[in-house]
Amino acid sequence: MNNKKAKHIKIGTRGSPLALWQAQQVLNKIENSKIIKIKTTADIMANKPLSEIGGKGLFTRELDKALLNNKIDIAVHSLKDIPTNLPKKIGLTCILARGKDQDILIPAKKEWDILSLPKNSVIGTSSPRRTAQLKIIRPDITIIPIRGNIHSRLKQVNDKNIHGIILALTGIKRLNIKTNYSILKNTSFLPSAGQGIIATTYMKKNTKIKNLLKKHENFQTLQQAIAERSVLEVLNGDCDSAIAVNSKILGKNIYITSNVYSLNGKNMVQSLLKGSIIDAKILGKKLGEKLIKNGALEILKNDKQ
Catalytic residues: 81
Question: What is the DSSP secondary-structure string of the chain?
Answer: ---PPPPPEEEEE-SSHHHHHHHHHHHHHSSSEEEEE---HHHHTTTS-HHHHT-GGGGTHHHHHHHHTTS-SEEEEEGGGS-SS--TTEEEE--S------EEEEESSTT--TTTSPTT-EEE---HHHHHHHHHH-TT-EEE---S-HHHHHHHHHHTT-SEEEEEHHHHHHTT-----EEE-TTTS---TTTT-EEEEEETT-HHHHHHHHHH--HHHHHHHHHHHHHHHHHT--TT--EEEEEEEETTEEEEEEEEE-TTSS-EEEEEEEEEGGGHHHHHHHHHHHHHHTTHHHHHHHHH-
